[in-house]
Structure 1
Amino acid sequence: MEINSYIYRLKNSHTLKLTIGHQYNFTNRENEIALQIIKNNSYKKIAKNMFITYGTVRKHASNIYMKSSCINRKDFIKKFKK
């Protein structure tokens, strides 16, 4: 599992350099998940891509929405989509 996570990070290192949550104090993991939420990936797909559980993605997403003062996923995407 850890090897797969490492491979994911290598493949997506250009994406992970983008930071949308610096002003909201997102953790690195929250930033990774936030970028995928903005791409409109489902929580299940994010979990699969990042080799973490669905529940972990939901918890991070909840923290992301709270930190960015968004009510839900739709509000978050609207706020950060360019």
Structure 2
Amino acid sequence: MNPHNGDHRYDAKVREIRAAGLAKDIPDFVLYPMFRAYSRMGCALSQLQAAKPGDALAMVKAAWKRFAEQGYVTEVA
């Protein structure tokens, strides 16, 4: 499965998160949709790109949780 479905906007930040040793328990096929959820929630991609890896991960996890609360996803990472 291609985790980014042709959308490479998040590749650099995902690499930073992985290099920092974060999100070891979250596979790419879940992490990339978390980034897309962040974008779909109307959050600024520039803020995400400027954030430190740990902060960026917290931001996408919060968006994923909001997506779950709205019924768009069934599991929270």
Same fold? TM cut 0.5 = no
Q: Structure 1 length normalisation: TM-score? A: 0.31
Flag the structure with higher helix content: 1
What's the TM-score once normalised by structure 2's chain length? 0.32
